[in-house]
Amino acid sequence: MATVVNMPRLSDTMEEGVVAKWLKSVGDKIEEGDILAEIETDKATMEFESFHEGVLLHIGIQEGETSPVDKLLAIIGEEGEDISDLLKGDADKKEDDKSEESSDKKENSDDTSKDESKEDSSSEGVEIPKGVTVISMPRLSDTMTDGTVATWLKKVGDKVEEGDILAEIETDKATMEFECFYEGTILYIGVQEGETAPVDSLLTIIGPEGTNVDAIVKNGGATSSSSEAKDSSSDKKQEKKETKAEDKKESKEESTSSTANTTTNNSGGRIFASPLAKKIASDKGINLADVTGSGENGRIIKKDVENYTPSATVKVETPAPATSAATPTFSVSGEEKSEEVKNSQMRKAIAKSLGNSKFSAPDFSLNIEVDMDNAMASRATINAIPDTKVSFNDMVVKACAMALQKHPQVNTSWTDNNTIYHSHIHVGVAVAVDDGLLVPVVKHTNHLSLTQIGATVRDLAGKARHKKISPAEMQGSTFTVSNLGMFGIDNFTSIINQPNSAILSVGAIVQKPVVKNGQIVVGNTMNLTLTCDHRTVDGAVGAQFLQTLKTFIENPVTMIA
């Protein structure tokens, strides 16, 4: 069935877009993840990705043309499919829009004098003073419904320029830097550090220094479409708010100066630390200047603070005065202490996703041991080639992709009414990050070579650890690989990453005695565990998949042939 693709809203202030360039033509086959066009917004020219598969049947906006958001951009469907009804419906919609616009203009013209006398009583919104911009909580991932401000890098009264980082915002997937696209002074902050707010709620207001934005704040950030300034009589309220903000700021500065948690080192340089590391350090009274960071560029992360041991100090105790009677004394050798750390958006998302998977899918696990001697020899040969690097995990990912081709029942997703068989193979690779777990996706894995898979996994894993990965790079997996072998784990069982039907757990390569040709020799083995959703994958199917996977891994030349 044909799908209508509308002009997307690619920024929070975008009302219309210009198609700078079409990268596909009518009749071209489209796959999920293909770039359809380059669209110019009010902020930048951005690539627009397809989330559908099929044939491009119609282009509604030609190169260079401008169109409002949510208007017909293109239609994707099956080759030769009749889309006349969709085109007719779009034409009727345009006529309706024109008639409504004409009617609105007439009503606006008749009511102008009335509106001027009732400007302050508008309930739909207030007009934005000249040069002022209202910034809402952005939607930084496709599943994000609310966000938590981890850290504000700017405060009220600071001047900001385009490109400055305003804040670090926790989504359900990662903590991401939020960049400013405007110039001016921060007039108001609507969501404080540690607070959570829904998407599109008032985050901050930027404009000329001294501009009164009380009316906008009182209205929750809702504004009318006019950009003309309105005179306001709330100077006293603004003065009161500024006095309160100053008192709060002074109180915060006093608190900061009295605590051991600093943001500069002994030489006056800035200390780079994750928001969670800062919070833990503050709670424990640890001076961040004394902590050595193990993250990128010396950044202090959670484990650095948790593992920090302060240097021992010598205490000179004054002897207690002698008493007439000897009384026994007791000293407490330790103390009980607990602390509460607020759950991050990522941890909440992990809990929800894995909880739904574990309690909704009837799963079972299958184990198999793989001889890794040939794989180790093949890897050494491949890595001897200059500028080439392949890991054992890359070999496992490639073997999984090839085994999924032979066992399509495993490359499926369950719905209440249907089982979806995916013709494409997108393998997700679980990556541990500071605050949890992310699963970057290697698209069309079966069409990639070992070296291409290795380069892609390293690139995506690096982005994930440095919080630079985009939501599109974590979507669409049809199978998942989780590897804890590098931590010395021999065997473990993973929870299925739905909507996948299976996940493979990869253990460490272990050297041990094995029997070959009737002789006991030293061999290298690795344990694999396949966890399956019994609704789509039966035991025999899972066992056959593991047998095929074992053949590919034990004979790497078969993956290259």
Angle between helices 392-406 and 373-383 in degrees, nearest 10: 120
Element (H, E) at 332: none
Residue 468 CA to residue 173 CA, distance in Å, equals: 11
DSSP conformation class of 69: T
CA atoms within 13 A on the CB side of 509: 15
Task: Check: CB of residue 536 under 8 Å from CB of residue 361.
Answer: no
Residue numbers annotated as active site = 534, 538
CA angle 430, 432, 438 (to 5 degrees): 55
Task: Check: CB of residue 74 under 8 Å from CB of residue 6.
Answer: no
Residue 430 CA to residue 546 CA, distance in Å, equals: 20
Burial class (CB in 10 A: 0-12, 13-18, 19+), 233: exposed
Taking 3-state DSSP, the helix, strand and coil percentages for the chain, each rounded to the nearest 5, stand at 30, 25, 45
CB atoms within 10 A of CB 104: 10
Single out the residue of 51, 49, 70 nearest to residue 61, CA to CA.
70
Q: Find the DSSP H helices in 44-203.
A: 84-110, 112-117
Where residue 50 falls (left for φ over 0; alpha for ψ -120 to 50; beta otherwise) is beta
Q: Which residues contact 14 (CB under 8 A, 6 or more apart)?
A: 41, 42, 43, 69
For the CA atoms of 487, 489, 492, 495, the dihedral, rounded to the nearest 10 degrees, stands at 0
Residue 396 token pair = 């496992």
